[in-house]
Each structure stands twice: as structure tokens, then as C-alpha cells.
Structure 1
Amino acid sequence: MEDAKEKLLLPAAGGELGLRQRLWAEQKKLWVVAGPAIFTRFSTFGLSVISQAFIGHIGSTELAAYALVSTVLLRFANGILLGMASALETLCGQAFGAKQSHMLGIYLQRSWIVLFLTTLLLLPLFIFTAPILRLLGQEESIAVAAGRLSLWFVPIIISFVFSFTFQMFLQSQSKNRIVSYLAAASFGLHILLSWISVSKLAMGVAGAMGSMILALWITVLGQFLFILCGGCPDTWKGFSWMAFHDLWPVIRLSISSGAMVCLELWYNTILVLLTGKMKDAETAIDALSICLNINGWELMISLGFLAAAGVRVANELGAGSARNAKFSIVVVTTVSLALGLLLFVLFLLFRGEIAYIFTGSSKVAAAVAGLSPLLAFSILLNSVQPVLSGVAVGAGWQSLVAYVNVACYYLIGIPLGVVLGYLIGFHVKGIWIGMLIGTAVQTFVLVWITWRTDWDKQVAMAQARVSKWVIPAAEGTNTERQVA
């Protein structure tokens, strides 16, 4: 990256007609990954939002407890596991582009090992939630309720080990349509079961959380059966002992990936924690959690484009085409930004009305309306920043982006938020403004890095990575057949 000289410009395409053909071809490749990825993330995120909507109508304390556990602890665990799983996106995407398809199944199994061991280390957070929240200064009633609710999240984070890795494995070869079908089915089932268990049978929190767990695991089992039963004949050859070999490079890349994504996802977590120390914390947390959920819905679109950018860049780098990689980046960024601008305008117009989906409190709805302009600007930034993070994943820059995130989020955004929120007295708005500034700086830095990158050099690095870690096809297949 230090020697980067070549700017990210749209390559010549041999005339207007040639450019149109390239745009059409790239759009098709983009949406093959982005379409199912967006729909899947909408459905998966919707599971949590539906649970929050039902729990919010049980009581305000339960809603605040759910907001804390899902936004703080679950996002903490989700950030680590999703980030570490994104290493699989780099490895599988580049190996698939380099025609080393047999390596994808081995990388998948290596990622299972790394993520499962990490999950074991995260379990105490969910077992000892109540004392942890007390130490962080949360109100006693909310901490107690969160402590009871957090145990329901244990099977949820275990499901992430498989759901995240299956998605990375399938989307790297543009076979993630099955994931969207399963996600849609589980989303519909979750709504039905939540309505029956909470509204009709009055099972309360247990009904909402039990339905969410069942919906998540149905998706995981469906993906597993698809892979095992011949859905990926070229990339899944069976279980292999080779998964236990060369784990350290995968662990190292997973840690870098985890750091990059964690630092982004934890950013909003700190926003909630800082809000929890203000006056009238319950209303502030409820309003903020609703805004973050709305922001999260839109972020699912950007994460779909993140996945598409990662896959397209990784595939083209693995295939040895710097020109196509650059063209893919321009197309996916332009499309995502256009959608972001449209949503920016819509959310400014509708402001706080949508809050009544999550709560019946006019006080909370008014607080949401006051935060709506900041929500709109967050949505606009989300249309660019995650796409550039996807480019980083595809190219394997996770370590570099982790350093950028530390500087922009934790040395600029959070200190500014504390000053504006507590010292100047802007409260929640001040904290959010400071953190938006951090995100804006990070976005500009990523634009500059992507613009200045020498993509021919990135092709050489990607091909060197694939060559270094590849196992001969005959050797890998023989080993896998013995195990299977």
C-alpha cells in the first residue's frame, strides 16, 4: 500500500458501446451476489427487530434490557465472529477466482474451528451479563432484566459460527440465493411464532426469544444440508483432516478481519453505553435503540453491497485482472451511493412516525423524531463506507483498515462525542454528531486509500497468497474421501 501510485479511474472500455456492455455485465455479476445478500441480511436482521417489537410491547424495562443485550453484548460478539468470518471471504473469493475451487471447503472447515473456539471465550459475557452491566453503571432494574434475557442469546451466538461462514463460502462462488430463500422462510416463521407465543399465549420474553432461536437454526441447518447434499460439488468434497493443517495463517487473517469489523460495530455500542449514563436513561436508550434499528435496516443494504464488493474484488484479483477489479469497485460504489441518497431524502421526510412500530410511548417517539436528521446522515455515510470496507476484505487489507478505524473512531469520533454530549450539553445528539464526524473521516480515508492503490500490485499479492496456501487438488480430494 505504501508504494501505491495508480489512481482508481474508470478504465477505457473501447468506446461507448463497449462501456455499456461492461456496465451491464458487471451489474449482473454485482446483483447475483448483492441481491440475495441484501435480502438475507434484511431477513436475518429482521429477526432481531421483530423480537424487539414484540418485547417493546411487553414493557419499557424489557425493551431497554433487550436493547442493551442486543446492541452491546450481541453486537460485541457479532462483531468478533462476523469479522473473523470475513477472512473466509478473502480466502474463498481469491481461491475461487484463481480456479482453486477445491480449497474452499477446506477453508470453510478451518474457519469453523477458529470461530467455535472464539465463541467459547465469549460465552461468559452472556452468563455474567447482570454484574457486567452493573460495573458499566447501568440502572439496577435494567441490569437484572438484561441478565435474565442474555441467556437466551447463547444458542444465537453459536449459530453465528455456521451461518456467517456458510454465507461467506456460498457468496464467494455466487451461490447465495439458497441462503436468501431460507432466510425468508425463517423470517415468516418467526413472525408467526412470535405472534402466537407473545400475543396469544402470553409467553412474554420466552416466546419472542424462543421463536428467534428456532428461526436462526432452521436457516443454519438448511444451508448445511444444501452444501452436504451436492449443492456445491466443485467446492465441497467432504470433511478433511487438512482443515487442521496451516491454521495459523487463517487465525492471523481472522484476527485482523475481526479487529476491522469489531471496531466498526462496537462504535454504535459505545454510543448506547454513553447514553445509558444520562438522565432519563430508559427513554434515551429506547429512542436511540429504535434509531439504530432503523439505521441497521438500511445498513443491511450496504452490507449486501459490502459482500458484493468483497466477492467481486477477490474474484478478479484471484483471476489476475486489476482492470476488472477497479471497474467493479466503481460500479458497486456508484450504485450503493445512489440508493443511499434516495433513502437519505425519505428518512428526512418521514422523521419520527416510524417509531410507533416499536413503541406506544409518545415520549419515546418524540425523542426519535429529534434524532431523525442524524439518522439520515448516518444512512448517507453507510452507503459508501461499508462498500469500501468490502473492497478491503476482497483485497485482504483488514489490518490496515483496523488501524484506520482506531484512529477515526476512537481517537476522533468518541472523544468529540463525549465533549459535545457531556461538556457542551448536546446530550444524545452531541454524542451522535461526534461519532458521525469520526465515520465521515474514516470514509474519506478509505476513499483516498482505494483511489491511490496500485491494483496490479494487489493482483500479485493475491496470487502469491493463493499459491502459498493451496493444497494440490488430488491430495486434498483423497484426504477428504477418507474422512467422509
Structure 2
Amino acid sequence: MEEDGGAQPLLSTVHVGCGRGLNGEDHDIGPINGVADLAREFLVESKKLWYLAGPAIFTSFCQYGLMTITQIFAGHLGTIQLAAVSVENSIIAGFPLGIMLGLSSALETYCGQAFGANQFKMLGLYMQKSWVILNIMAFAAVPLFVFATQVLKLLGQTASISKEAGKFALWMIPQQFAYAMMLPSTKFLQAQSKVMAIAIIAVLALCLHGFFSWLLIGKLKWGLVAAAVVLDGSWWFTAVAQFLYVMAGTCGESWSGFSWKAFEGLWSFLKISVASAVMMCLEIWYAMALTLFAGYLEDAEISVDALSISINILGWACTMAFGLNVASSVRVSNELGSMHPRKARFSVVVSGVTSLLVGLLFTLILILSRKQYPAIFSNSSEVQQHVEKLTPLLGISMVFTNVQYTLSGVAIGAGWQAPVAYMSSICYFVFGVPSGVVMAYKFKMGVQGIWCGMVIGLCLQTCLLLWMILITNWDKES
């Protein structure tokens, strides 16, 4: 590894700093004979999987809760306020966030490689490179927020939604710079398995966010301005807390101070993240496109509210799926890097079965509470009825989303980012979105038709990912 960041990094993501897996094992899994052997090996692999997934799930749960709390309070302000927050979050803020998530993914490779090779001083340098790139992206995104009202009108949103969302977007500009500082430090700490620090900061941010949302929006009735200020403050609290944790000397040799070398080799550092950026952007832009088309329906405010609530619920399920995505990626990449193809393949089986069971459990809970949970997000009886009608489709989406996220983690661990990115674009935007639009408008299915398009895209991508995994020669991959 060269210090200018120009070396070709490994495709595996190392979070535990050990090429032999969590327990330092240097042998592949043996033949599995009978149910007893299968159960024993399944339990062993499950422990390794949840050791990695647990903290990642908890952190994702807390951070996703920030926007959910904001949407809940906005929903009780009125349907137009909820629609404004939802549209700003999914369209205006969602576009640059997807790009920044992808750009920061370069750290998963670079920091993982440096930590695994005991070149600890390189981790801090790579984090600084990512800070530079993401802050440039945050500055470039500012005009999108400034002219959010005009952009949304151009995209066909109603004048009332566009106006309120535009006002909210202006107050949300600081959030982008918080992302630019927080995402690199998160990847930096994850590469060193300092996941508990990230989780503690996340839960503190969630508690503070809930209290100040209740105080400023619920009690003092300061409206959407208060919602934006509290949300900005929560993300900046997370970014600053992680920054101070790093500066406090808790990372040893990994942080040795700021360096001008952070400005060297930025292009080579940027190139490794392009495929992953496409994958992440497509996931976020898919939801953005569906919300956008919901705004074209006759009952635009009701449709956008119902769709945004359903996407929000799906997002909660995705917090679990995200943790399994990270864990499956690490397990597969570690075992492939350790020349353990049978363990890598068995890890795929365990993570896939686990994600399927989790998805089914979430769906069962959702179906049983379908008449109660919509009232949490909105006082409007019309919105609640729309959400209740969407619940069966939402349940199906949860199952496919959990499995798809896990299989995507396997793809990342195996280094298949580029083909999966092409595949995702076809599934989502050639089949998913057009199908949803046709069913919503031509067959008069409304917001349910749009969601059917989402299910079609998810189902197709999940099946193709499963097919890729089934035909893979794991010995050759290793």
C-alpha cells in the first residue's frame, strides 16, 4: 500500500482486522453430515453474524429514528407539513445523500485494507481525504436546496407542497455538511471495530432529538422551522461527538493529526467508490421516484403522505436489513480472503435464512397492527385508510427488502458492485418504476399501483441476486 492512496485496494471490506475471521480460525468448514452437524454449524455462524450485525442494527435504528420522529411531529401539524417534510427528505435531501453515501464507501475498502495490514497511520489520512471530497459535494448540493421550490414545481409537485418543502429545504442545508463530516468518521471507526462508540453516540442523539422535538414542535408550536433546526442539530451532535472521540486519542496510531497529504491522490481514492455509489444511489432514488410520481395523483397530499408513511415503516425494517447487509459483507469477504470458500458459501446460506425469517416476523407484526400504527403518523382518517390498504404490499416489500439487502451485502463482500449496479438500474427503472406508473394511472390503482411497482422491482432484483449467488463458483471466488 502506497501512502499517496494510489495503490489498488482490496475488494473485501475488513471490519475485524483479521483475515482469519472473528475467531482467528485458519481452516475451512468440514463436510456437514446430518441435522445435528447442520444445526451446530448454523449456530456457530449465526453468532459470528450477529456479533457484527447487532451494533450496526442498533446504530441504524437510532439514526433512522431521527427522521421518523420529525415526520411524526410534522404529521400532527397537518397533511401539507408532513408532505413537505417527506418530499424534501426523499427528493431534495435524498439526491445528494445517496451520492455522499457512495463516495464515503471508499473508506470501507481503504481503511479496511490499512487496518488489516497494520498500517494504522493511513486510516486517518484516508478519513481526511473523504472529508475533503464529501464537503465539496455538500457545497455543490447547496443550490439544489436554495431552489428547491422551483425544482419541485418543475418536477410536477403541487404549488403548496413545493412551497412548504422549499422553505424546509433552506433550513436543512446544514444537515448536508454534518453528513460530510459524520460519514467518513463512521467508516473510520467501523474499520477498527469501534462500533459501540458509534452506537452510544447514536442513542444519545436520538434521545436529545426526541426531547427537543417534543419541546419545540409539540409544546411551543414553532412548526417546521423548529423541526428543521432540531434535525440539523441532531446530525451535527453526532458528527461532532464522533470527531471529538477520534481526537481524544482513543484510536491510537490511527489518528496522528491533520496532514496536507489528504489533498494528494484524491482521484484514485474517488474511483474505488463509483460502483458502490451507483448501488446506493439507485436504492435511494428509487424511493424518491415513487414519491415523486405519487405527487402527480389527484389526491396528491394524501397519496404522498400515505406513501411516505409506508416508506418510513419499510425504512425501519431496513435498519435490521442494513445490519445484516454489513455483517454478510464482512463474513463473506473475510472468508474469501482467508481461502475458505465453503465457509463463505455457508455464511451466505445462514445470512439469507436469517434475513428471510426477520422479514416474515416484521410482516406478521405489521399485519396484526394494521389498524393501529397509521394513527401514529397522521391524524387524517383518509391518510390512515390509505396506509391500511397499503399494508399487505408493505409486508411483501419487507420480506423482499430484508433478503435483497443481505444478498447485496454478499455481492459487496465478493466484489460484484459493478454488475449489481447495472442490474439494479434495470430492475428499478426499467421494470419497477414504469410498472408502478402504468398501474397507478392507466389502471387507476393510485398509490397502491405505485407500490406494486416497487414490489416488482424488489422481487426481480432479489431473484437475480439469488441467481448470481447460486451459479457462483466459490472456490474460484476464493
Same fold flag (TM > 0.5): yes
Change (3 A) 1:318 1:28: same
Determine whether 1:405 maps to 2:424. Answer: yes
Change (3 A) 1:416 1:102: same
> For 1:271 and 1:343, how far apart are their aligned partners in 2?
22
Structure 2 partner of 1:427: 446
Structure 1 partner of 2:164: 145
Q: Give the SS at the match of 2:270.
A: helix
Q: Give the SS at the match of 1:238.
A: coil
The equivalent position to 2:208 in structure 1, one of 189, 193, 197, is: 189
In the TM superposition, residue 132 of structure 1 has moved relative to its aligned partner by: 0.3
The equivalent position to 1:164 in structure 2, one of 178, 183, 186, is: 183
Note the residue ranges of structure 2 that are not aligned, 5 or more in a row: 1-27
Change (3 A) 1:332 1:457: same
Q: Give the SS at the match of 2:252.
A: coil
Structure 2 partner of 1:308: 327
Q: Write the letter of the residue equivalent to 2:212.
A: L
Contact 1:90/1:394 (CA < 8 Å) preserved in 2?
no
Contact 1:87/1:254 (CA < 8 Å) preserved in 2?
yes
Structure 2 matches for 1:341-360, cutoff 5 A? 341-360=360-379
Change (3 A) 1:111 1:28: farther
> For 1:442 and 1:61, how far apart are their aligned partners in 2?
34
In the TM superposition, residue 313 of structure 1 has moved relative to its aligned partner by: 2.9
Change (3 A) 1:95 1:381: farther
In the TM superposition, residue 97 of structure 1 has moved relative to its aligned partner by: 4.2
The equivalent position to 2:99 in structure 1, one of 80, 86, 100, is: 80
> For 2:115 and 2:472, how far apart are their aligned partners in 1?
23
> For 2:228 and 2:153, how far apart are their aligned partners in 1?
23
In the TM superposition, residue 59 of structure 1 has moved relative to its aligned partner by: 2.1
Q: TM-score scaled to structure 1, two decimals? A: 0.87
Q: TM-score scaled to structure 2, two decimals? A: 0.88
Contact 1:351/1:373 (CA < 8 Å) preserved in 2?
no
In the TM superposition, residue 429 of structure 1 has moved relative to its aligned partner by: 1.2
Q: Write the letter of the residue equivalent to 1:118.
A: M
> For 1:455 and 1:169, how far apart are their aligned partners in 2?
29
Structure 2 matches for 1:43-442, cutoff 5 A? 43-442=62-461
Contact 1:112/1:165 (CA < 8 Å) preserved in 2?
yes
Q: Write the letter of the residue equivalent to 2:436.
A: G
Contact 2:291/2:307 (CA < 8 Å) preserved in 1?
yes
Q: Give the SS at the match of 1:57.
A: helix
Change (3 A) 1:81 1:221: same
> For 1:26 and 1:106, how far apart are their aligned partners in 2?
34
> C-alpha offsets along residues 135-168 of structure 1, whole Å, 9 cap, x if unaligned?
1111111111111100122111211122222222
In the TM superposition, residue 14 of structure 1 has moved relative to its aligned partner by: 8.5
Contact 1:352/1:368 (CA < 8 Å) preserved in 2?
no
> For 1:260 and 1:67, how far apart are their aligned partners in 2?
22
Change (3 A) 1:41 1:108: same
Change (3 A) 1:172 1:328: farther
> C-alpha offsets along residues 206-239 of structure 1, whole Å, 9 cap, x if unaligned?
2222112212111111211222223222533433
Q: Give the SS at the match of 1:56.
A: helix
Structure 2 matches for 1:30-41, cutoff 5 A? 30-41=49-60
In the TM superposition, residue 95 of structure 1 has moved relative to its aligned partner by: 4.5
Structure 2 partner of 1:471: none
Change (3 A) 1:447 1:158: same
> For 1:102 and 1:15, how far apart are their aligned partners in 2?
48
> For 1:85 and 1:336, how far apart are their aligned partners in 2?
25
Q: Give the SS at the match of 2:77.
A: coil
> C-alpha offsets along residues 255-296 of structure 1, whole Å, 9 cap, x if unaligned?
221111111111111111111101111111111111111111
> For 1:393 and 1:239, how far apart are their aligned partners in 2?
30
Percentage of pairs with the same residue: 43
Q: How many residues align?
A: 451
Change (3 A) 1:172 1:391: farther
Q: Which structure is higher in RCO with an 8 Å CA cutoff and minimum separation 6? A: 1
> For 2:215 and 2:59, how far apart are their aligned partners in 1?
24
Note the residue ranges of structure 1 that are not aligned, 5 or more in a row: 1-8, 460-484
Farther-moved stretch of structure 1 (328-337 vs 373-382): 328-337
Change (3 A) 1:100 1:11: farther
Q: Write the letter of the residue equivalent to 2:238.
A: T
Q: Write the letter of the residue equivalent to 1:284.
A: S
In the TM superposition, residue 24 of structure 1 has moved relative to its aligned partner by: 4.4
In the TM superposition, residue 388 of structure 1 has moved relative to its aligned partner by: 1.6
Farther-moved stretch of structure 1 (176-185 vs 78-87): 78-87
Farther-moved stretch of structure 1 (238-247 vs 53-62): 238-247
> For 2:192 and 2:343, how far apart are their aligned partners in 1?
17
> For 1:225 and 1:32, how far apart are their aligned partners in 2?
26
Farther-moved stretch of structure 1 (69-78 vs 270-279): 69-78
CA-atom RMSD in angstroms: 2.3
> C-alpha offsets along residues 383-428 of structure 1, whole Å, 9 cap, x if unaligned?
1111122222333322221100111111111121122111122121
